[in-house]
Structure 1
């Protein structure tokens, strides 16, 4: 990590607010000596929370007061108009002003995206930001975007998502020459709507490591590193995955508690079950990136606890360390080359 890395944290948003954000922040400070944090929110509440942890503000831990909070149900347009002193807006403003390298929020996704896009703007050559997050898979994880920011996308925008996903896979996740797949209803070239087929042709003619169409099962078991789709499909796939995970966990609990024999079997299998739970624990994958902005914004899950929020902070630090926005701009210019105007 470079010297002087500062991250702004929206401590008031999300289901647990500062109760999750503050302990996660303190853990990150202990782990990263060169890190500084700006806790954005109600100053009195934050000072009280720090006192409970026997911690005081310092050069590395600063409180930035914000008098408002964006509610989880609030319309993005209302948040932009009437919540200019919200913890969310102030955290994003700190990135824009150069006082922070990134911000992390567990708040309203729509409001955060609208605020970040309004304040920070998109990178040159990027039409819309996209939400990307790792999904557990057979080989570790698969990066998937867009997960809900853009319900409808043009072929050019899907192409831009592929570029951004490739950068994140390479820069942050250490994947050399990441394999990119376009989510479709089949792997055959004749499958899909005109937008998907056009996007496939753009990707086939690019310098990206495009492997063609992939299907839903390939997200979890296929040989693909980045899966590209529009936000409508991506969000449905993500929520389906979350629901399936909860269903499997419930079924396991029910089967192991049926009678004394299954309970004994459950005790014998406990080490395996614990390892499995750790491997698919969504808290370890918390921290969705808003790619395509002129700044780093990380969205934590709304119900994140301190462990999950810390994962989101770690994601922010990795993106800062690896200069993700700059690398997206560089790869986009390299991939498009002389045909930039035709594809953008």
Structure 2
């Protein structure tokens, strides 16, 4: 099969190469998926670049990147219902702690990691449901229903944030979002009642004014370290900060006093290790929203498998309006 892989960390055009590798055979409990699309995420690009803290070399001699994707089950291993052959599926954790991800024509992986696509949902959408979709669903609904709550979503134009805006709005929350100025109309169209430029000098005052001074009950946070002080000002007492990123400040300094006297909860999400029950609940939330027509993930760009390096550059480009996908075949 054709696959893109790398054997050393580095810039995408320097280390990613397209070649032929053996087609995997599904082991007991696994399925073999013929991939149509591979979802490219910032975490894939960071892993290839070697920027993860404490990681000095790739975990395997050669890595086929990417955790997300969508395709059709072509074969099954022992113990898997053969009736699944021909099933349209989307994939999560394709390359998590494994050498072979979805930047290839086929992937073999545990059957539970190939989730049946709801009728009418495209492979395009399916390829966005792994990291961005599950992260959005977990950070919004990690404590249950959000109807009537006021939710602040930072980075509302990003793949996770844009999905989170749609999920929270459809679930009955009042959504406040931040993003860059050029993206504000797009985020408002996704369902945010109030959208503010994250660079505004009076951002905290704008957020508090939008809540009539009550503050937000839940925050979905992509840059926790950078925004910790802002959150201390705008959170309501007993609120929850559902943080899934802090790339610009990985060693944050917290204003503990304000956090303490508001009794704020910090709920950090790493979607790769989400417990089974929580993952199943997040999948159910995504599928329900797709079937109701209230979730429409956006696609920024498609690239051919042979141009995987350009896809890695695109996914790290600020201002990207949606997911980046590789067309496999």
Which has a greater percent of helix? Answer: 1
TM-score, normalised with respect to structure 2: 0.32
TM-score, normalised with respect to structure 1: 0.31
Larger radius of gyration between Structure 1 and Structure 2: 1
Higher relative contact order (CA 8 A, sep 6+): 1
Which has a greater percent of strand? Answer: 2
